[in-house]
């Protein structure tokens, strides 16, 4: 019954059963009412089916609800070889996995309360390596080693689209697994492959005491500390995938400590095995502390 266009009956025209039947049967057509028969603005809330826009939603808390950080967890830094991502929280969908097809938009939001921990001075230590450089001290003309800084922990989003047993975690698309050497003997990745990754600084460094008297007395020092508690937001979206996959779970992992590196044509991040332990016994290597957080996902229709 796409728009009915039938000649009007005009005076002098013979009335036949066939013509009458055709006029009424115009309204008996099956499966043809379309946009031509519907007025503008006709579709309202009750006309849409359930899940018209949102197909799935899931939320999961990470760790205890410990906003005071009295019972936080700790992830150690990688001291040699490839990084070992440590899970800090997951969103388990394996009981009712999501089918994410070309018509879908997957949106993921995470938040993690965390901080960097460090005990040893990252500056003026040996050996010189990829994250350090040397300057001349003043007034004594001695060489001083300084850390390049910019050391970071990485909070990374992974998913499992292979097994309901959640044993096949891989980085989300566009993210590296950091299991390759970006530079000789230095594991890391190109900065172009950091999708699903968030970073938080590994330490704080600044001037101690801004009091004029303290400065005059020569006690104003450059000092360092672990960072204070803050939150790291992790967001990721996957739009209109080329083929359908089954999403069994999502998780956040942490690994580090990384610092910037350059290969001549590409910027990247590489592990720094010596960070925070130069010239000192590694009694307490730098670490990543985390407390409560959350991981949420929503799957929507694209059209």
Footprint (CB under 8 A) of other proteins, residues 37-96: 38-45, 47-48, 50-54, 57, 59, 61-62, 65, 67-68
Q: Residues 238, 106: contact at Cβ < 8 Å?
A: yes
Query: Which positions from 146 through 165 interact with other proteins, judged by CB under 8 A?
Result: none
Q: Which residues in the 20-39 window bind other proteins by CB under 8 A?
A: 20-21, 24-25, 27-35, 38-39
Q: Which residues pair with 183 in a beta bridge?
A: 186
* Least Å from the CB of residue 258 to other proteins: 18
Q: Which of residues 4-23 bind other proteins (CB under 8 A)?
A: 15-18, 20-21
Least distance (Å) from other proteins to the CB of residue 211?
5
Q: How far is the CB of 46 from other proteins (least distance, A)?
A: 9
Q: Is 230 among the residues that bind other proteins (CB under 8 A)?
A: yes
Buried b (16+ CB within 10 A) or exposed e, 24-41: eeeeeeeeeeeeeeeeee
Residue 15: phi, psi to the nearest 5? Answer: -90, 120
Q: Which is nearer to other proteins, 23 or 262 (CB)?
A: 23
Handedness of CA 155, 157, 163, 166 (dihedral sign): positive
**Nearer CB in complex with other proteins: 37/163:** 37
Q: How far is CA 111 from CA 34, 65, 236, 291, in A?
A: 46, 13, 12, 10
Map tokens 């910037």 to a residue: 260
Cβ pair 156, 253 in contact under 8 A:
yes
CB of 112 to other proteins, least distance (A): 10
- Contact letters for other proteins, residues 188-207 (x by CB under 8 A): -------------x--x-xx
Q: Is 271 left (phi over 0), alpha (psi -120 to 50) or beta?
A: beta
| Contacting other proteins within 109-138 (CB under 8 A) | 109, 111, 113
């Amino acid at each position: 019954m796409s728009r009915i266009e039938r000649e009007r009956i005009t005076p002098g025209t013979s009335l036949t059963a066939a013509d009458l039947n055709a006029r009424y049967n115009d309204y008996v057509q099956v499966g043809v009412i379309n946009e031509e028969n519907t007025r503008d603005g006709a579709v309202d809330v009750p006309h849409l089916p359930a899940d018209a826009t949102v197909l799935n939603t899931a939320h999961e808390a990470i760790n205890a609800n410990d906003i005071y950080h009295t019972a936080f967890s700790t992830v150690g830094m990688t001291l040699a070889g490839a990084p070992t991502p440590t899970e800090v929280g997951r969103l388990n969908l394996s009981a009712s996995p999501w089918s994410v097809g070309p018509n879908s938009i997957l949106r993921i939001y995470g938040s993690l309360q965390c901080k960097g921990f460090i005990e040893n001075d990252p500056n003026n230590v040996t050996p010189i390596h990829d994250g350090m450089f040397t300057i001349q001290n003043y007034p004594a003309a001695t060489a001083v080693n300084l850390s390049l800084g910019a050391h970071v922990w990485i909070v990374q989003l992974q998913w499992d689209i292979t097994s309901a047993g959640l044993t096949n975690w891989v980085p989300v698309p566009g993210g590296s697994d950091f299991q390759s050497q970006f530079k000789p003997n230095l594991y890391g990745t190109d900065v172009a492959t950091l999708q699903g990754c968030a970073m938080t600084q590994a330490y704080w460094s600044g001037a101690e005491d801004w009091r004029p008297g303290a400065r005059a007395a020569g006690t104003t020092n450059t000092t360092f500390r672990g960072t204070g508690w803050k939150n790291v937001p992790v967001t990721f979206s996957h739009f209109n995938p080329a083929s359908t996959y089954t999403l069994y779970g999502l998780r956040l992992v942490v690994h580090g400590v990384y610092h910037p590196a350059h290969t001549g044509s590409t910027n990247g991040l590489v592990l720094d095995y010596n960070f925070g332990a130069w010239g000192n016994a590694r009694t307490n290597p730098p670490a990543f502390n985390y407390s409560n957080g959350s991981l949420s996902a929503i799957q929507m229709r694209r059209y």
